[in-house]
Amino acid sequence: MVKEQRLDHILTVLKGSEMVTYELLAQSLKVSEDTIRRDIDILHKNGLLSKVRGGAILRSRNPLTFQDRSSYLKKGKDVIALKAQQFVKNGQTIFMDGGTTICAVATQFPFNAHFRVVTNNQALVPILAKNKGIEIVVLGGVYNRDTETNVGTRTCQEVSMYVADAYLMGACAADPNHGITARIREDGDVKQSMMNAALKTIVLSNHEKLNHHDFFKVCDLASVDVLVTDLPSEDKRLDLFRNKEILIV
């Protein structure tokens, strides 16, 4: 299929679903994801769609709301949420930052859970509040409406008041060479603070965020203890992460 036909196909699919991913388009058109990225770049520059992490959305749907992101790749988030349960134990103090995957994890906590969660994620609070055995500590700071999180100097200072047994980090991007990166510097600052105050860091990343990087460096993979994805542990897309001395789940 020539480029013009691919571009027309992408727009047709997008009008029907309002959101498309590189992976699904590559499969349907039988081309590489890199080819799809270049096609979407062209359409984006011409104002015909808006790029998002892992794909594109209709121009009218930009920017994505927190609710939009919650439904995006929901199946993968549910897989990650179930896998992550093994790293949370009763009696622990857990850092949980922003993101829809983090919220998905909280929905899977058992009814008899008994631990403390320290978070800057405002969207997480009503989910955790349903479980009376979970103590909730909400960090202060400047409220970001797009991510529904508190960020800034005060947030980072308050993080340093605690020592967490584990930190469940919602990843923006994870790359074998560039490590964990974030789109928003203030978000990255909070992630770094939580890492420094936690005994173990568990990064949660769906497959769309793997082998990509954003502009703000959070940490090298060597600083991460566990990488939880929605892929089978033997999936080839994880091969480049295997020699980084981290547990892949």
Alpha helices in 97-223, H assignment, sequence order: 100-107, 125-128, 153-159, 185-196
pLDDT, one tens digit for every residue, the chain (249 residues):
678 788 888 888 887 777 888 888 998 898 999 999 989 888 887 777 888 878 888 765 445 454 555 455 567 888 999 999 999 999 999 999 999 999 999 999 988 899 999 999 999 999 999 999 999 999 999 999 989 999 999 999 999 999 999 999 999 999 999 999 998 999 999 999 999 999 999 999 998 899 999 999 999 999 999 999 998 888 888 999 988 889 999
Asked whether residue 138 falls in the same domain as residue 111, the answer is yes
Pair (138, 97) in one structural domain: yes
Domain, as residue range, for 214:
74-248
Please state, in angstroms and rounded to a whole number, the distance separating the CA atoms of residues 107 and 125. Answer: 11
Residues 85 and 39 in one domain: no
Dist. CA 170–CA 55, nearest whole Å? 19
CATH number of the domain enclosing 45: 1.10.10.10
pLDDT reported for residue 217: 96
**69 within domain boundaries:** no
Query: SS3 for 140?
Result: coil
- CA separation for the pair 6, 36 (Å, rounded): 8
Q: What pLDDT shows up at residue 174?
A: 95
Does residue 230 form part of some domain? Answer: yes
pLDDT at 68: 52
Which residues, 6 or more positions from 86, have their beta carbon under 8 angstroms from its beta carbon?
249
Residues 99 and 127 placed together within one structural domain of the fold? yes
145: closest CA among 205, 64, 206, 214?
64
The encoded tokens of residue 231 equal 């892929």
When divided into structural domains, the chain yields a total of: 2
The answer to whether residues 158 and 41 belong to one domain is: no
| 100 and 43 housed in the same domain | no
Max distance between CA atoms of the chain, in angstroms, equals: 59
pLDDT at 152: 98
pLDDT of the residue at 175: 95
- In a shared domain, residues 78 and 59: no
Q: Of 64, 92, 115, which closes a domain? A: 64
The alpha carbon of 24 is separated from its chain's Cα centroid by a whole number of angstroms, namely 19
Angle at 227 between CA 99 and CA 51, to 5 degrees: 45
**Token representation of residue 70:** 């919650």
